[in-house]
Amino acid sequence: MLEEKLDALSQMMAEHMAMPFPPGFRGLDIEDQDMVMLDANAYGFAGGVLKGPLSEQHRAGLTRLTSVFEEVLPAIDDEYATKYYAHVRDMAILAAEIESLRQK
């Protein structure tokens, strides 16, 4: 089960890298979140999860990050950007699920 989720996360990260960053979102803040940093942080946490268990501090950061998406996504008023950031959110949520499985 864990290996399957790790494979799925790896696939999601590859898909993410193939998606162009939403036009007009560089330097844009939504709900006090820098959209470039939100993207980069999610990808960074996901990459860390693929390498092995996260530290307690990083797990807490990943948990906070996943909740940020619930504020940001409804405020995005662009169809492609909504799709892009929903994918980033799903990647972060899967990374958090993997970390949760590791804690058991």
pLDDT tens across the length of the chain (104 residues) = 999 999 999 999 999 999 999 999 999 999 999 999 999 999 999 999 999 999 999 999 999 999 999 999 999 999 999 999 999 999 999 999 999 999 87
Q: Residue ranges of the domains in the chain?
A: 2-103
Q: Which residues pair with 34 in a beta bridge?
A: 29
Rounded to whole angstroms, how far apart are CA atoms 69 and 31? 10
Quick one: how far is CA 25 from the chain centroid? 16
